[in-house]
Amino acid sequence: MSAEASAQASAVALDEREARERYDADGYVIFRDVIDADLIKEVNAHVDWLQARHPELRPEQLGHVLMQHDPFWVRLIGDDRLVDIAQMFIGPDVALFASHYICKPPFAGQPVLWHQDGAFWPLEPMKVVTLWLAVDPSTPENGCVRLVPGSHKWDVAGMRDNTDVESVLGKEIAVDVDEDQAVDMVLQPGDVEVHHPHIVHGSNANTSPRRRCGLTIRYIPTTTRIVSDELPWPSAFHLRGAPGVNPYQPKPVYVEGKHLPFRGCEAWS
């Protein structure tokens, strides 16, 4: 069975119990058709709006520091369909830690070298789950996420600089990775791939004529502490349940003409 077929065959989560079992065994699971086409259309408009406002940033680098005063972004990561999935893995008290569009342009999209997310994040304990929302079709040709099933059970390895290739992180895991063991996360817009903070993953460059855009969303239980001198963290938002141990950013206020208009923006005024 090919890596792509293997990922497809093991990916559909039928219920919470099966999703948890697959996540615990493999370190990832895929949920299909989570977000509707109308909201994905708004997400595309948001990406275009962000790129127009931040021409100094590569489209792979539309990160969490831009979120604090962005009502649509906070509305998106607080969507009940996404938070319900996060709750399956971290419990009922949910906050956002970070979110990041990795939008690889046609022909020139940078790779993400092999890494474990937990090697980077100031969280204690490392209880966190990533939801990767597909904005575009994501395939091997345009640089989809690849991961090594079961590698979430490995120790967290060190990271090393890699300046031989221009990449999103500029770093890679400091151990050899057997790429033959990796599977491709083939997704359609609105699909969500969920993965563990210790799973080894990355993605190839986009040399195809089609953009590959996805939104990473990092949810934490409110018992996980953000350990930083910068508090509240720029993208720390309380979403559900008890507020727990962290200070949070206030809900951003929508201002017509300043922010991207979206369905329901009146409620954010």
Answer left, alpha or beta for residue 201, where phi above 0 means left and psi between -120 and 50 means alpha. Answer: beta
Distance from C-alpha of 244 to C-alpha of 94, rounded to nearest angstrom: 9
**Quick check: 155 and 116 in contact, CB under 8 A?**
no
Give helix 16-26 / helix 80-90 axis angle, nearest 10°: 60
Distance from C-alpha of 215 to C-alpha of 103, rounded to nearest angstrom: 8
- Give pLDDT, residue 9: 35
pLDDT tens, N- to C-terminus, the chain (269 residues) = 334 443 443 344 448 999 999 999 999 999 999 999 999 999 999 999 999 999 999 999 999 999 999 999 999 999 999 999 999 999 999 999 999 999 999 999 999 999 999 999 999 999 999 999 999 999 999 999 999 999 999 999 999 999 899 999 999 999 999 999 999 999 999 999 999 999 999 999 999 999 999 999 999 999 999 999 999 999 999 999 999 999 999 999 999 999 999 999 999 99
Distance from C-alpha of 243 to C-alpha of 221, rounded to nearest angstrom: 9
- Give pLDDT, residue 7: 42
H or E stretch at 129? strand 129-134
**Quick check: 195 and 28 in contact, CB under 8 A?**
yes
- Give pLDDT, residue 13: 40
Give pTM, 2 decimals: 0.94
Instruction: Classify residue 199 by its DSSP letter.
Output: -
